[in-house]
Structure formats: C-alpha cells, structure tokens
Structure 1
Amino acid sequence: MTHASLKKYQQTNKSTAQQASPYQLVAMLFQKLLGNIATAKGAISQKNYDLKGTELSNAIAIIGVLEGSLDFKQGGEVSQNLASLYKYCSEQLLTASTNNDPDKLEEIIQVLLPIKSGWDSIPLESQGRVSF
C-alpha cells in the first residue's frame, strides 16, 4: 500500500467513525477486535511474534474501550456480566500472547462471537435506546 493510499484509507476510516452512531461504533469495535485476534492467531502460526504482539495489544485496548463504555447504572446485571467477560478475555489474551497459544485465541473468539451476534441483532428501531 502506498503512502497516499494509506492516508486515504485512514481518512475514510476516520470519517466513517465520525459519522457512526454509538451503536455502530460498538459494532465496528467488535469487528476490529475479532479481526485483531484472528490476525494474531495467524501470526503465531507464522511465527511472526511482532505482529502477534501488536494485534493482541490492539485487541486488549479495544476491550478496554468496550468495558469503559458500559453503563452500570442503566445496564445493571448485563453490564456487570459483560465487564466480567471483558476482564476474562483480556486476561486470556495476555496468557495466549505469553504462551503463543492459538487455541486460547480461538477460545476467546468463541466467547466474543455471541456477544457480537447479540449486538448485531438489535433491531434498528431499538439501536438508539441501547445502553450497557
């Protein structure tokens, strides 16, 4: 990718994020999170440990953003459960990184997929009222 096309890609992504609703931003974060973990999984199999480290650091940062966006007052028990799952996933990502364990990464993907699927299935008319 040339410098000019990279710059255009970054501007497009920034513009998309600026125009997205809070609901869409969370959906984008989940997509990016799962992509980071999948890329790290591939990097481990290719013994590209620098890429693995970068991808898992980004994944942990995204989980931090997701956790930080929880609304415990309105979300109640759902928010508490999500916070626990996010903490678990962050801990497991660190373990997977330390041990170069692609199976652990797959386990984390399987934990996150139902959450993403549930998020994606929220009806359009309810998206503005969603709060966790």
Structure 2
Amino acid sequence: MKRTSPEERAFPSEPDAHGKVSLLLHTAVHRSHLAGRALSEEDHAQCSEAIMAALQILDALNSAIDPSAGELAQRLQYLYSYAGLRLIEGHEQKDPESIAEATRLLAQIASGWSAIPKEQRSAQALAA
C-alpha cells in the first residue's frame, strides 16, 4: 500500500482535463446566474463583472476546442459563442431574459458534460 504524505492529503491531485472543463462550465453558469441577479437588483457594476468573468471562461473553453475534431466540436464552439452573445446583449439592453437564456444553455452544456461516462472521458473525447 502506497503511503501518502501530509501534503498529498492536503492537496489532492489536480483534476483531469474532463474535470477542469466541468469546473469551468459550472463556474460560467454561476457567473451568468450572478449577472442576472445583479441586473435584477440594478447593480450594473456587479453585472458587468460577472458577465466579463463568464465571457473569459467561454473564450477559454472555445479556444481549447480543436475544430478539426468534428461536428460536435463545431457545435460546441457555436453554443459558446451564442451564449456569450446573449450575455452581452442582456447586459447592453438590460434584458434579464437574454442572460437567463445564456444561463440555461450553459447549465445544459454543463449537465451534459457531467453526464459523460468515465470510460468515454479520454483525451480524444475531450477534443470534441
């Protein structure tokens, strides 16, 4: 049996690529939700901050996709771009429904990502 040091117990190993994408998606959902709530409370500074954070995450996710990986990869790029556009429109037009739509879309993507069976979480599957 392998012994683990106190450091290894205190700082578990870094998540795999699937876990990182999952964490980013859930954080984007959270930020998008915060933006909608801030907009409803007329806290425009907080709304801007939350939208910028969500957009940065979407940009990172979009940049990580290999477009040559096929149709699924291209669809994900489209969905990330669309969600970002809806966040921007919601902020500019002070439209909570646009932000809510982006939040729902991101939540669906995050849910689908989390539902991928472990045996299909290979590096090849992540490229899509």
Q: TM-score per shorter chain, which class?
A: 0.7 to 0.9
Matches within 5 A, 1:64-103: 64-74=59-69, 76-103=70-97
TM-score by length of 2: 0.83
Question: Which residue does the alignment assign to 2:48?
Answer: 53
* Correspondence 1:33 to 2:28: yes
* Correspondence 1:122 to 2:116: yes
Quote the RMSD (CA, aligned, Å).
1.6
Whole-angstrom CA distance in 1 between matches of 2:71 and 2:43: 40
Q: What 5-or-longer segments of structure 2 have no aligned partner? A: 1-10
Letter in 2 for 1:113: A
Q: How many residues align?
A: 116
Letter in 2 for 1:79: A
Between stretches 85-94 and 34-43, larger displacement belongs to 85-94
Whole-angstrom CA distance in 1 between matches of 2:37 and 2:109: 23
> Considering only CA atoms, is the larger Rg found in Structure 1 or Structure 2?
2
Whole-angstrom CA distance in 2 between matches of 1:32 and 1:118: 15
Q: What 5-or-longer segments of structure 1 have no aligned partner? A: 1-14
- How far does residue 125 in structure 1 lie from its aligned partner after superposition? 2.1
Letter in 2 for 1:43: A
Whole-angstrom CA distance in 1 between matches of 2:85 and 2:40: 21
Q: What's the secondary structure of 2:57's corresponding residue?
A: helix
* Correspondence 1:111 to 2:102: no
- How far does residue 52 in structure 1 lie from its aligned partner after superposition? 0.4
TM-score by length of 1: 0.81
Is the helix fraction higher in 1 or 2? Answer: 1
Identity of aligned residues (%): 24
